[in-house]
Amino acid sequence: MNDQSASVNKKQLRQQIRLLRQQLSKEQCLQAGQQLAQQFQQHFVDQDFKTIGVYLQNDNELDTSVLIEYFFQLNYELYLPKIYEDGSNQLQFLHFHSQSKMQNNRFGIPEPISDDEIALQEIDLLLMPLTAFDLSGNRIGMGGGYYDRALSKLSDKKPLLVGLAYDFQQVDECPVESFDQPLQMILTPTRTIAFNR
């Protein structure tokens, strides 16, 4: 499949999954977030992470608030993505803590007001949002290509790439474009799926 066909198919899948996601109630989102935190605790309890990149949910994405509270309790260093303001669709990762001052970006997503930036290759674990995934470790994002673009610049050390998703976001096959970056794991409220990479 060429990049143009993949892009069209991605757009269709993205619309279908987002419609399903938007039908979830706040209670369902929070419950899924609590189950997600339990999955993480069960499967990553022995991992020696120091720095974690995470996101704040938007558009009924899987709720990360319970997971973030758990990270704060364990004194992990947390970093949130921030979109460069120059229109280049580039990401930087800024330090985030419980007292961080926040400001909404152009999509209405809160970002830290901070100069404390970390290089992406220095993040141990990167938890990524998605709209769809398959059992080959491919993901479909929101369409901006922010994460794929940032990760494609890393030649050697990369974070452990873990996608966070509801179970219904699994599809038979994600269309893949040449610049897409595959995941190493998927965490859902009920499953932890590892891929051989």
pLDDT at 127: 97
Q: Report the distance separating Cα 11 and Cα 14, nearest Å.
A: 5
The pLDDT value recorded for residue 98 is: 87
| 37: phi then psi, degrees, rounded to nearest 5 | -60, -40
What stretches of the chain show up as alpha helix (H) in DSSP? 3-22, 26-43, 65-73, 146-152
Q: What is the pTM of this model?
A: 0.92
Beta bridge partner(s), residue 51 = 77
pLDDT digits (tens, 9 = 90+) for 29-40: 999 999 999 999
User: Would you state the pLDDT for residue 81?
Assistant: 95
> How many domains, the chain?
1
Cα–Cα distances (Å) from 169 to 25, 42, 88, 143, in that order, read 16, 22, 29, 16
Q: How far apart are CA 197 and CA 138, in angstroms?
A: 12
Residue the block writes with tokens 């970002």: 111
Retrieve residue 152's tokens: 């494609």
Please tell me the distance from the alpha carbon of residue 13 to that of residue 122, in angstroms, as a whole number: 33
Q: Is 172 exposed, middle or buried (0-12, 13-18, 19+ CB in 10 A)?
A: exposed
DSSP-assigned letters across all residues of 27-83: HHHHHHHHHHHHHHHHHSTT----EEE-----TTPPP-HHHHHHHHHTT-EEEEEEE
Q: Give residue 45's pLDDT.
A: 77
**Which of 162, 165, 169, 168 is CA-nearest to residue 194?**
162
Predicted local distance difference test score (pLDDT) of residue 9: 84
Query: What CATH number is attached to the domain comprising 22?
Result: 3.40.50.10420
Range of the domain at 160: 3-194
Residues (pLDDT < 50) of the chain are none
- Quote the pLDDT of residue 133: 95
